[in-house]
Amino acid sequence: MVMQGVALNELLLNTNITLADFTNINKTVLFEQFIALINNARALRANPTYALVLGEQFYINHDGILSCRVMSSEHPLAAMELLHQYQSLFTELLEFNLDVNDDYGIFSISEKFPLGEALPHFVEYSFSVLCSLAKFCLAKNEMKVELEFAYANPGTDNEFETFFGNPVRFNCSANRVIIPKETLSQNIIFANKESAAENEKLCGQHLAQVHSDQKVIQNVKAAIRSMPFNEVSLEALAQQLCMSPRSLRRHLQGQGVSYKTLLENERKRIALKRIEKQDISIEKLAEVLGYHNASSFSRAFKRWFGISPHHYQQEREQEQ
């Protein structure tokens, strides 16, 4: 978008992401920052199909394994079933569902976590990946499908129909792709049983690793909640979970997070909960959350929510 003339400072507005963060391999972007960036992009986009273009540039990829497994399937129906089975290798934000009857298959997408105004970005991106990969696997520029979106047309014309080359409807009951049986039964040009078997095994291993990483994250969250905030460290968490700091870091990196991210998210959760209950002073809450003083906590709170804890508390009192 910057290359198309959008100002970088406008894209990064209120995200607390700086240009230097993009060159720091140890920098973790919080989920809230990522969503803020997506919302800025949607507000500033000149092209309503920008998320579709991004999806077209990126075929499903988890170290190439999921992509290879899908491409080695016999036909699109088998490939769609795999996407449903291994959806965790593609995203943890969305829920994929596949329903098949005698006439067509319906591939639908819903949110696992509240994504708010950013949900259309992920839906459009995913549908674009899906259709682009299908055309590639079938060696065709056109593929007969119908697309439905559960929100209003973000464009001003028929940009989405032009992009997909198929009927597109908005303000529908669900986000879904309707695929005729004739499309689902076509032959994939890369079909290979030996490759499929090998890649199936690798996908299973990766999925097991993802589930293992998710379990570790749940345990880390529980450990953080059991410890005083000022005592939380990678080493302390690793010791409580009976693993080395290096192993813990590897599990967390497998899910794209750090213990500092999980710690900050827990601080945010506790901060909001206690302020809304109004059962503790700002000074005492700062101490509970492991900050040196109330000023440090106030700066962190404003960075998280764009408002000071005192002002947030006042707004809550007025609402009540």
Q: What is the DSSP string of 160-203?
A: HHHHHTS-EE-S-SSEEEEEEHHHHTSPPTT--HHHHHHHHHHH
State the Cα angle at 314 between 313 and 318, rounded to 5°: 120
Q: Residue 62's pLDDT is what?
A: 46
Domains belonging to the chain, first-starting first, are 1-46 (no CATH), 51-191 (no CATH), 203-319 (1.10.10.60)
Nearest to 224 by CA among 269, 174, 172, 180: 269
Q: Residue 194's pLDDT is what?
A: 93
Q: Could you report the per-residue pLDDT of 91-109, keeping only the tens digit for each?
A: 888 999 999 999 999 999 9
Q: Residue 59's pLDDT is what?
A: 57
Q: Residue 33 is inside which H or E element, if any?
A: helix 31-44
For β-strands 175-180 and 146-148, DSSP reports them as: antiparallel
This prediction has a pTM of 0.72
Q: Could you report the per-residue pLDDT of 232-262, keeping only the tens digit for each?
A: 999 999 998 888 888 888 888 777 788 888 8
Q: Residue 18's pLDDT is what?
A: 85
Contact 81, 99 (CB under 8 A): no
Task: Point out the residues of the chain with pLDDT beneath 50.
Answer: 62
